[in-house]
Structure 1
Amino acid sequence: MKIAVLPGDGIGPEVTAQALKVLDVFAREGTPIEFEHGLIGGCAYDESGHPLPDSTFKLAREADAILFGAEGGFQYETLSRGLRPGDALLSIRRELNLFANFRPVVTWPELVGASPLKAERLEGLDLMILRELTGDLYFGEPRGVTSENGVRVGINTMRYDENEIRRIAHVAFRTARTRRARVCSVDKANVLESMELWREVVEEVGQEYPDVTLEHLYVDAAAMSLLRSPQHFDVLLTGNLFGDILSDEASMLTGSIGMLPSASIGDGTKGLYEPVHGCAPDIAGKDVANPLASILSAAMMLRMSFDMHSGADRIERAVRRVLASGYRTADIAEPGTKLVGTAQMGDLVVAALS
């Protein structure tokens, strides 16, 4: 089991280190796990002049799974396109064809009070946001900033072909079959032709899954419903842009974006696993970041890339025990809880695994 470890920038190295502590428990127990580290993002640019060095891409391509931390930083925002830290992650997603992004949104009972929503709206919440990851405005052409009649014009193209839509729709319906058999497809078909095609193709695929209920929502209505009645959703199928926005909104259902793991999968079992929260440079190096999203991403890795369901369950139970014992990082702290730092939270999860 060869895992490419790409901690990246900001709080990425801190939270990834805690996930590695947890995975190392399984290595010590005899699971054949091999870790190999690589540079990506801003730190790779500082070292080599490019955010995705050839050696890092080779490592990612040859690994069985990728554990990613975060990328970015204020100092890189003025770099040319192609040299920014975020371009490295986009390149890996595209080149390895990791088109299906799974973002589970689960409200842990111990954290109901950390969410700004009323507790009765969150009880038993368990939904999966399934985001198409290699199309849409992020990759569509033409794009760029040009000049027309002396006026600057910014261009991005929302583009999907039916094959791209069809494959992510199949993933959504197959996923729903393992859950509560409901898919809600999110689009803007009343305005955008690309989303009109999205709806048509999802409908066609849905006919192959008569045991799964399909509904459609426009993205603005979906955003409202996520806050008004989140328990209604099971699998939320979205395009790249809408999924990016809705999943960050959904983080408030869990109490903090520091609780959201994710997995990006292609046609096989190879996947890239990462916390959703980003690099958070303002708190980097201060031992205050929440590592639980990274740890839970490692659990997703065991389950989805290595078929280690019992190991993934063990990690999730350990996180639950730590939360039930009252330990919290700053982002999920409430009165009466015990505040801990990044490293101590990782140590607590490791201890709970035993």
Structure 2
Amino acid sequence: MTNYKLLLLPGDGIGPEVMAEVEKVIGFLGQAGIAAFETEHDLVGGCAIDAHGVALTDAALARADAADAVLLGAVGGPKWAEVAYEIRPESGLLRLRKDLGLFANLRPAICYPALADASALKRELVEGLDIMIVRELTGGVYFGEPKEITTLPDGSKRAVDTQVYTTGEIERIAHVAFDLARKRSGRVASAEKHNVMKSGVLWKEVVTRVHQADYADMALEHVLADNCAMQLVRRPKQYDVLVTDNLFGDVLSDVAAMLTGSLGMLPSASLGAVDAKGSRKALYEPVHGSAPDIAGRDLANPLAMIGSLAMALRYSFGLGEAADLLDGAITDALANGARTRDIAAEGTQALGTAGMGDAVVAALKARIA
């Protein structure tokens, strides 16, 4: 077996707890002869601020750059609410994305059959839901300059965030979306705000041109981002691959997450460009945050973190069969009644974080028995 190099960044809050369950799965995959991993650990976020005064050290970034893939738990929490903006916990994650060139964020929103009734929507609206949101991750308003708060002559303040996109940034994320759609239904929806934003005008123009030049055999729909949010709640299964910018992608993917029953269910992949050797930088993380209110209480749902490992198997290591095995084990565990508190029906007994991890490993064992 190839020995894959993984950097584990547990982070803050529930991050270390859900990462521990991923390590159980990694250990089992190695023992079963499915995939072998060499793992390293480092700090990111608030814990790195406590230890080093910055949210991500140069040494940790270098380890991330050298790894075949990075798994990250979560960052942030009220403990660091008063630190300087420049060193806030989230700055470590933003630096990883920017310095590793992780421009394409893939966020699947899948409603597992056993959880259709856990969604805030009616079963018929979400049963069978399988959306892939493709979010541009290193441009837009989160990285645009100027980004500042200034004091005006009258003593009041003005805050400025700048939405900036170039043709090349839009082209490369559009290619990712169309290439994914070609392996799925052949349908792409592109969300922006061309009616009020110049960046939206350019986004629509470039996505249209990429479609006409290279993917004319596929279906492309343009949708205003605010209407898209409404449509995700009204009739979510109309979408398959949804491509959008950094800001709207952040919002729309969280909307889609709740269609599935819980933020604790959804993984994500952040991918860089493919290099001359056919490999790419990649970071995998759950969509949920650090949830400091339940940290250390064995209440967190680890399935999004485990699902992030499945995405790493698929997109970084080319181990599609192993990824299918792990995704299937998650489905089996849920079908067998395994539930953490966030997805448990009222009056039913819920597993803790460790119990859910054990349930997935048990389902893995059953699948290969």
Q: TM-score, normalised by structure 2?
A: 0.94
Question: For 1:119 and 1:77, how far apart are their aligned partners in 2?
Answer: 39
Question: For 2:116 and 2:69, how far apart are their aligned partners in 1?
Answer: 32
Cα displacement (A) at 1:337: 4.4
* Number of aligned residues: 354
Question: For 2:127 and 2:341, how far apart are their aligned partners in 1?
Answer: 23
| Contiguous gaps of at least 5 residues in structure 2 | 275-279
Determine the structure 2 residue equivalent to 1:62. Answer: 66
> Could you list the per-position Cα deviations for residues 108-154 of structure 1 after superposition, in whole angstroms to 9, with x for gaps in the alignment?
01000100101111121111000000001100000111112232111
Residues 345 and 206 (structure 1 numbering): CA distance in 2 closer, same or farther, change over 3 Å? same
> Could you list the per-position Cα deviations for residues 60-88 of structure 1 after superposition, in whole angstroms to 9, with x for gaps in the alignment?
01000000000001021221122111000
Q: 1:285 aligns with which of 282, 296, 309?
A: 296
Spell out the pairing of 1:266-305 with structure 2 (5 A cutoff).
Answer: 266-268=272-274, 269-305=280-316
Determine the structure 2 residue equivalent to 1:98. Answer: 102
Determine the structure 2 residue equivalent to 1:80. Answer: 84
Q: 2:172 matched to 1:167?
A: yes
Cα displacement (A) at 1:308: 0.5
Question: For 1:104 and 1:301, how far apart are their aligned partners in 2?
Answer: 13
Does the residue aligned with 2:163 lie in a helix, a strand or coil? coil
Q: Percent identity?
A: 54
**Would the aligned equivalents of 1:116 and 1:252 in 2 still touch at CA under 8 Å?**
yes
Q: 2:268 matched to 1:262?
A: yes
Q: 2:223 matched to 1:217?
A: yes
Residues 182 and 322 (structure 1 numbering): CA distance in 2 closer, same or farther, change over 3 Å? same
**Would the aligned equivalents of 2:284 and 2:309 in 1 still touch at CA under 8 Å?**
yes
Spell out the pairing of 1:1-354 with structure 2 (5 A cutoff).
Answer: 1-30=4-33, 31-149=35-153, 150-207=155-212, 208-268=214-274, 269-335=280-346, 337-354=348-365
CA-based RMSD of the aligned residues comes to: 1.0
**Would the aligned equivalents of 2:65 and 2:281 in 1 still touch at CA under 8 Å?**
no
Question: For 1:342 and 1:288, how far apart are their aligned partners in 2?
Answer: 5
Letter in 2 for 1:282: D
**Would the aligned equivalents of 1:261 and 1:296 in 2 still touch at CA under 8 Å?**
yes
Question: For 2:141 and 2:346, how far apart are their aligned partners in 1?
Answer: 43
Question: For 2:83 and 2:23, how far apart are their aligned partners in 1?
Answer: 31
Which runs of structure 1 show a deviation greater than 3 angstroms over 4 or more consecutive aligned residues?
Answer: 335-338
Q: Which piece of structure 1 moves more, 286-295 or 312-321?
A: 312-321
Question: For 1:77 and 1:132, how far apart are their aligned partners in 2?
Answer: 27
Question: For 1:260 and 1:94, how far apart are their aligned partners in 2?
Answer: 23
Cα displacement (A) at 1:182: 0.5
Does the residue aligned with 2:39 lie in a helix, a strand or coil? strand
Question: For 2:51 and 2:14, how far apart are their aligned partners in 1?
Answer: 18
Question: For 2:298 and 2:281, how far apart are their aligned partners in 1?
Answer: 31
Does the residue aligned with 2:85 lie in a helix, a strand or coil? coil
**Would the aligned equivalents of 2:101 and 2:281 in 1 still touch at CA under 8 Å?**
no
Letter in 1 for 2:233: L
Cα displacement (A) at 1:23: 1.5
Question: For 1:201 and 1:77, how far apart are their aligned partners in 2?
Answer: 39
| Contiguous gaps of at least 5 residues in structure 1 | none
Cα displacement (A) at 1:32: 2.8
Question: For 2:330 and 2:196, how far apart are their aligned partners in 1?
Answer: 43
Question: For 2:102 and 2:129, how far apart are their aligned partners in 1?
Answer: 27
**Would the aligned equivalents of 1:107 and 1:122 in 2 still touch at CA under 8 Å?**
yes
Q: TM-score, normalised by structure 1?
A: 0.98
